[in-house]
Each structure stands twice: as structure tokens, then as C-alpha cells.
Amino acid sequence: VIELGMPTRSVVTTCAYCGVGCSFKAELRGDELVRMVPYKDGGANEGHSCVKGRFAFGYASHPDRVLAPRMRESIADPWREVSWEEAISFTARRLREIQAAHGTSSIGAITSSRTTNEEVYAVQKMVRAVFGNNNVDTCARVCHSPTGYGLKQTFGTSAGTQDFKSVAKSDVILLIGANPTDGHPVFASRMKRRLRQGAELIVLDPRRIDLVRSPHVEAAHHLQLAPGTNVAVVNAMAHVVVTEGLVDREFVEARCEGFEEWEAFIAGPEHSPEAVEEITGVPAAELRAAARLYATGGNAAIYYGLGVTEHSQGSTMVMGMANLAMATGNIGRDGVGVNPLRGQNNVQGSCDMGSFPHELPGYRHVSEDGAREIYEQLWGTPILDEPGLRIPNMFDSAIDGSFRALFVQGEDIAQSDPNTQHVHAALAALELLVVQDLFENETAKFAHVLLPGTSFLEKDGTFTNAERRINRVRPVMAPKTGKHEWQIVCEIAQAMGYPMHYDSADQIMDEIALTTPTFAGVSFDHLDKVGSVQWPCNEKAPEGTPIMHVDGFVRGKGRFVETTYVPTRERSTRKFPLILTTGRILSQYNVGAQTRRTANVAWHPEDLLELHPHDAEVRGIADGDMVALSSRVGRTTLRAVIAERMPVGVCYTTFHHPVTGANVVTTENSDWATNCPEYKVTAVQVALAPEQ
Ligand code: SF4
């Protein structure tokens, strides 16, 4: 068999890319990974996959991988390779020295949405039990933190309501600020299947995304709104529901609270489709028709992406969608609900595991005495009852000198976070930056210690996908670095004087289950038996929970919240007359650290700027020209593409390539509740690059 080049063994594991969480059989010949075969029994994908999960795994053996720890005194010095012992004892000593000199709160950590639940849990434990503060945040801060806030306020928990299968029972799909064909391809296939069977589609997006009109699928309504006006549109849809007698009164009376106040608010004439037409650019008649379809077309489900969350009113919009779903009774059964399409493989899990500075695992606020006591007893140390620093606060505090040391796990904040110049200034101001990653990424350029990370093929643990499904990540090979990431975190904790030890990743999951009510029934043994399970999984729901809020909301009654539309302060001006919105493309993934090191790079070798033909023509720009893209905070150069799908006055790019560094132009504006950056609205100018 070996002579024929055929695989000799296989391991079932989970894709390391998007939040669909597809299961694969990794097939090996000896220790060499031959291919990834979509797993037919995978709960999320049932044998389907996309081009990233199937083919883009070569980065794990790329020569750029950092395989041994590195250190340097200053970022001007060259790296020197050191032993694990030296790297860990230096890191621990410097963290303690900095705390002694500048206070307990002067250090912190950022976790990743690409590492396992167990790895994330270990980092937040190190911060709370060893650093003695709550200065832990996750890269979900810059994508779905408004989902966490908005769904908790309205429904009581920070997660999507449905399993993916549920879409097969939807009669109407309201797709907001998401392009699943590129971002969540396997779920997009499920959605398209249902649409081909006759379900109706409403798309709310400034761009004419593929699903608006593609073979066999045509949206009933495309509400092509102006960027930044989501809340005005969703309020206008709710206004139609309320003023045209389309409220599900029985559902609202039995299951919700705050309806009467909200009804009076939303019925106000300022929320009518006619009143907001000029602001949103959506024709009032089209908006009314879409609202009627959503309210009366049968089971209506909302699916949404970062086009909802990455706004100054991201949290408001999440609550606005929840209001709409509750008012029409579209919660708590198959085919309905409010569902975030999570970008990264473990965004849901990193949030579940307590890596927000205000929440312990399971979304319990650090001020809750009962929740803190569980950890204080188990960990034998007090837990601070005040929230710690969010990522943007860490940057600001680094610049003002009160925050001095940062541990970053699997996250390239120097490329992914907005206003690159500000981020670079913050990182350069730190006394100690420790980066744990597969590669020497943009953030590592500012680091003093670079600790090698493990690829998904080397990890042992779990990822939690966008439908709350906990999937096993099984090691296909031993860590090429000699250590699991959770082991490194434990060793730093021990070197700082705190006894933190696990024999294996399943012991960490056992601790998670012991301390987190929604995970009480989860263990590696159980997952190996049943394949995967959707939380809550506990005594009340031993088989897990595919659909949430069936008999009652997690918070008891669903809560209507008044969602006043407040325009973003980012405005187009004479100097910056266009609005830039950013996103992703199918073949690439986030900052591209993984996909740029696979054959996928050939499909999208550079970031492109999409421009409407009119905007290109008035600037003398032809398809393929290099252009300068500038905003009030920065400037970069990239290639222009003339795209009919863009509306006049709006342009679009991706942020997969550091050479473009699209976040050089994005600003400090962020969501009022969570500080999620406003990546989707930046006033810019575009001109032919001077060198042409
Ligand atoms: Fe991986 Fe997402 Fe593609 Fe599935 S859809 S194979 S999880 S990238």
C-alpha cells in the first residue's frame, strides 16, 4: 500500500478555518499528511467541504514555521534561538519584574479564536489566577463582540439560536451583512439548497453579493443600503410589523417583556420606511415589501455576519434583529432564529471560555460572587471582581505607560486590528511582548520573545463552531515544537510561582465541565462516543441543545430593547468622498498567515480594491491600475478592480496581505458597547498611484 502512495491511517478532526467547523478524515502515509477527506458523519458538514479545509493545509509543514523559541533584548536586535527553559523562565521573570515595578494591572494577555477551547481556558486562567487581574481579551473583540453583548441583553446568552440543519425548514431567509459563499461556503450550500426548493431570500447588504442573483437563486429583495445605516433599516422593518398589525401577539405576550414600551418607540413616524429612505438609500416600497415577507412568509430566519457587528452601532443592530425576530414569533423552533455566522473556527469557543475581560467561562460576569467563588475555591486564589482591559484599552494604556507587558496567543494584531499606526505605536511602547504563533507574523516584529505554536494537525482539544457544536480536534501528529500550547502556558504560570498543571487536554475539559454549567455534560469520552454535541450539554440536556429558547429564553423572558439609530461619526467629505468597507474572499483567511502559505495564494495573490465603474471613470482609473487608497489616518497602494456589484460611492477591499495592510486606513471608531472596530465604514479617497 505504501508503495502505491496510498494513506495507511486516518484521524477524524476539525477544520482550522471558518466557523462552520467541518469534520475531516486526515489521511496519512506514515507521518506524512496525504489528504483531507470531508467526513460524512461530521455534524456540521455531513461530508461536504470547501477549498480551504480540503486543500489549504500545507502551511502546517511550511518552512516558515517557527519551531524553536526565540528571544532578543530589544526589537532592533536579531533573534537568537533559545531552549524552552530559557524562554519560559525569562518570560516569567520579566512578567513578575514588570508587575513589581508598575502594578498588578500592568500586564495582560490576548487569546485566539483559532486555538482550542482548552488552550484559551488555560490562558484566561493564567491571567486571572497568576497575573491577578482580568486583563484578558480575545480577537473576537474585533469581530463578534457585539453579538455577545446584543444576544445576552435580549435573549440571555451570547450565541446563535439554531443548528445549521434548521435552515432546511426556513421559508424566508433574511441575510444581513454576510457573504456566506465566500465566508462560510459549506453553510452557503445548505442555504442555497433550501432557496432552490423555494424559500424566499432577502439580502441586506451594500454590495450585490453572489446570492442576490446566482444560478437557480434570486433574492426576492436586495436592500442595498448605505454603509452604516443597518439600524435605521431594521427599525423600519420592525415599524412595518408593528404598524401593519403583523406582530405575533400570542408569542410576545407569553414569552417577552418590554414590548409595550418598545412598540410605542418603534411605531414613531421617524422609523417609517419613508422617513429613513433618504438616510439608508433603500426605497421605502421595497423595504415595506421585505418586512411584510419576513413577517408573513412562514418560518423566517436571520443569518448575519460582520456587516452587522463591525459598526459603531454593531450591538444596537444585534438587538434590533432580536426585536424583529421576537415581534414576529420567529424564535424557538426549527427554521427561525437569529444566527451569527462566525468567521473563525473557534470564535464561539474563545468567547465561551471566559476570554473577555468582564466574563468568566460560561458568560458569568466577574462581579457575580457565586461564579467567582467556584474558581477561587478550585484555583485557591482570589479572582478580581472588576473587568480588566479590552484590547483597545491595552493599546491606549501601553501608549500612556500604564500597561507594560502583553502575551499574545495566535493572533496577528499588528495586521488585523484597525488604525495600524496606533497599534504599532502601542506594541513598540511595551517593555515585554511575548508572541506565540506558527510564524514570525507582523506582531512578532515588535516581540521580545517568540514562542512557537502548534498547527491544528498537532493539537488535541475541541473547537466550538457557530451553531455551538463542540467538535474534537484530534492530534494527527505530535507537536513539531515539542510542546502543546496549553503546556507552555502552564509552564509560564509555574515559573511565576503558581502550581498549574494538567497531564492532558482532556483534564482541562474536565475542569471546564466542572466549573461551567453549560458544559457540565461535555468530556472527550462523551464526544468520542457521540461525535459532537451542541451546548448547553448538561443534566437538563444530556444530548445537547440544537435549538435554543424553545420553551423560554435563557434569561426567562425575551427582552425588547429600544434601538435608536445614531449615525456614525465617520462621514464622507470633499477630501474623502468614498466609503470603504472591508471583508474576505473564499480562497483566503483573515490575515492570510495560513492560506498565503498554501497553493490558495495563487487564487488571490494580492488584496484588490473593488470600485463602481462610475467612481473609477471619474478618477481616470482602469481595471488593473495601481491606486492610492487614503483616509484621514493612513494610506496604502493596491490594484483596482472595476466591479458592477459595488454601489456608486462605496469601495471594498480585503485584508489578507500584509504588503497592502488595509488596516492602515481603517479608523479608531468602534461599537459603543463593546469597542468592536468600525471596519465597515471608512471615508476614503482613491486616486491613480503617483508612480503611474
Ligand atoms: Fe473549513 Fe469552513 Fe470550508 Fe468547512 S466551510 S471546510 S470549516 S473553511
- pLDDT tens for each residue of 316-351: 999 999 999 999 999 999 999 999 998 788 999 999
Closest CA to 651 of 605, 684, 688: 684
- Residue 424: CB partners within 8 Å, gap ≥ 6? 414, 446
Lowest mean pLDDT among 1-10, 96-105, 156-165, 612-621: 1-10
Judge whether 460 and 433 are in contact, CB under 8 Å: no
Q: Does residue 2 have a pLDDT over 60?
A: no
Query: What's the pLDDT score for residue 5?
Result: 66
Going from the Cα of 1 to the center of ligand 1, the distance in angstroms, rounded, reads 30
User: Does residue 186 have its Cβ closer than 6 Å to ligand 1?
Assistant: yes
Q: Does residue 692 have a pLDDT over 60?
A: no
User: What separation in angstroms does the CA of 349 have from each of 40, 96, 139, 498, 535?
Assistant: 23, 29, 12, 25, 11
| Percentage of the chain lying above the pLDDT 90 cut | 82
φ, ψ of residue 627 to 5 degrees: the values are -130, 155
User: Does residue 53 have its Cβ closer than 6 Å to ligand 1?
Assistant: yes
- For residue 637, the cross-strand partners are 628
The string of DSSP letters for 546-599 reads SS-SSSSBTTBSEE---------S----SSS-EEEEEE--TT--TT-TTGGGSG
Closest CA to 325 of 141, 553, 536: 553
The span from the CA of 464 to the CA of 474, in Å, is 14
Give the count of beta carbons closer than 10 Å to the beta carbon of residue 575. 11
- pLDDT tens for each residue of 58-111: 888 888 999 999 999 999 999 999 999 999 999 999 999 999 999 999 999 999
Name residue, grid cell 484555583: 379
206 falls in which pLDDT band (50, 70, 90)?
very high
Q: Which atom, in ligand 1's list, is nearest to the CA of 185?
A: 5
- What integer best gives the mean pLDDT of the chain? 93
3-state secondary structure of 195: helix
User: Does residue 50 have its Cβ closer than 6 Å to ligand 1?
Assistant: yes
Query: What's the pLDDT score for residue 342?
Result: 84
Judge whether 556 and 501 are in contact, CB under 8 Å: no
- Residue 143: CB partners within 8 Å, gap ≥ 6? 113, 306, 309, 310, 342, 343, 344, 347, 676
The string of DSSP letters for 326-338 reads HHTT-SSSTT--E
User: What separation in angstroms does the CA of 418 have from each of 513, 586, 621?
Assistant: 36, 22, 27
Amino acid, res. 628: A
User: Does residue 15 have its Cβ closer than 6 Å to ligand 1?
Assistant: yes
User: Does residue 52 have its Cβ closer than 6 Å to ligand 1?
Assistant: yes
Query: What's the pLDDT score for residue 36?
Result: 92
What are the cell numbers at 343? 468567521
- pLDDT tens for each residue of 247-276: 999 999 999 999 999 999 999 999 999 999
| ipTM of model | 0.99
Q: What would the mean pLDDT of 206-228 be, rounded to a whole number?
A: 93
User: Does residue 180 have its Cβ closer than 6 Å to ligand 1?
Assistant: no
168 falls in which pLDDT band (50, 70, 90)?
very high
Longest dimension (CA), the chain: 75
Going from the Cα of 442 to the center of ligand 1, the distance in angstroms, rounded, reads 25
Query: What's the pLDDT score for residue 239?
Result: 98
Going from the Cα of 516 to the center of ligand 1, the distance in angstroms, rounded, reads 28
The span from the CA of 517 to the CA of 368, in Å, is 15
Judge whether 580 and 653 are in contact, CB under 8 Å: yes
* Residue among 13, 22, 594 to mutate when testing ligand 1 (max atoms within 8 A of CB): 22
3-state secondary structure of 250: helix
Q: What would the mean pLDDT of 500-515 be, rounded to a whole number?
A: 97
Q: How far apart are the first and last CA of the chain?
A: 57
Q: Which atom, in ligand 1's list, is nearest to the CA of 49?
A: 6
- pLDDT tens for each residue of 287-300: 999 999 999 999 99
Q: What would the mean pLDDT of 594-604 be, rounded to a whole number?
A: 75
Going from the Cα of 456 to the center of ligand 1, the distance in angstroms, rounded, reads 13
3-state secondary structure of 165: helix
Going from the Cα of 345 to the center of ligand 1, the distance in angstroms, rounded, reads 8
200 falls in which pLDDT band (50, 70, 90)?
very high
What are the cell numbers at 51? 477549498
What are the cell numbers at 280? 439608508
User: Does residue 21 have its Cβ closer than 6 Å to ligand 1?
Assistant: yes
Q: Residue 68 belongs to what H/E stretch?
A: none
Going from the Cα of 51 to the center of ligand 1, the distance in angstroms, rounded, reads 8
6 falls in which pLDDT band (50, 70, 90)?
confident
Query: What's the pLDDT score for residue 601?
Result: 66
Q: Which atom, in ligand 1's list, is nearest to the CA of 20?
A: 7
Q: Does residue 542 have a pLDDT over 90?
A: yes
Give the count of beta carbons closer than 10 Å to the beta carbon of residue 523. 17
* Residue among 13, 45, 179 to mutate when testing ligand 1 (max atoms within 8 A of CB): 45
Q: Which atom, in ligand 1's list, is nearest to the CA of 14?
A: 7
Judge whether 585 and 610 are in contact, CB under 8 Å: no
Q: What would the mean pLDDT of 403-408 be, rounded to a whole number?
A: 98
Q: Does residue 1 have a pLDDT over 50?
A: no
Going from the Cα of 14 to the center of ligand 1, the distance in angstroms, rounded, reads 9
Exposure string of 589-625, with b = 16+ CB inside 10 Å and e = fewer, is bbbbbbbbbbebbeebeebbbbbbeebbeebebeeeb
Residue nearest atom 4 in ligand 1 by C-alpha distance: 22
3-state secondary structure of 106: helix
Q: What would the mean pLDDT of 363-378 be, rounded to a whole number?
A: 96
691 falls in which pLDDT band (50, 70, 90)?
low
Judge whether 364 and 124 are in contact, CB under 8 Å: no
Name residue, grid cell 477561587: 376
DSSP class of 105: G
Closest CA to 311 of 232, 393, 229: 229
Q: Which pTM does this prediction carry?
A: 0.92
- pLDDT tens for each residue of 413-470: 888 888 889 999 999 999 999 999 999 999 999 999 999 999 999 999 999 999 999 9
Query: What's the pLDDT score for residue 343?
Result: 76
Going from the Cα of 18 to the center of ligand 1, the distance in angstroms, rounded, reads 5
- pLDDT tens for each residue of 640-690: 999 999 999 999 998 777 777 778 898 889 999 998 989 899 999 999 998
| Cis peptide preceding 536, ω within 30 of 0 | yes
For 126-229, where are the alpha helices, taking DSSP H only?
Answer: 145-154, 180-183, 185-196
User: Does residue 17 have its Cβ closer than 6 Å to ligand 1?
Assistant: yes
The span from the CA of 160 to the CA of 109, in Å, is 27
Going from the Cα of 38 to the center of ligand 1, the distance in angstroms, rounded, reads 10
3-state secondary structure of 266: helix
User: Does residue 466 have its Cβ closer than 6 Å to ligand 1?
Assistant: no
Amino acid, res. 141: R
Going from the Cα of 518 to the center of ligand 1, the distance in angstroms, rounded, reads 26
- For residue 222, the cross-strand partners are 203
- Residue 4: CB partners within 8 Å, gap ≥ 6? none
* Residue among 12, 13, 18 to mutate when testing ligand 1 (max atoms within 8 A of CB): 18
The span from the CA of 220 to the CA of 525, in Å, is 46
| Percentage of the chain lying above the pLDDT 70 cut | 98
User: Does residue 185 have its Cβ closer than 6 Å to ligand 1?
Assistant: yes
Query: What's the pLDDT score for residue 658?
Result: 75
Q: Is the dihedral of CA 151, 152, 158, 160 positive or negative?
A: negative
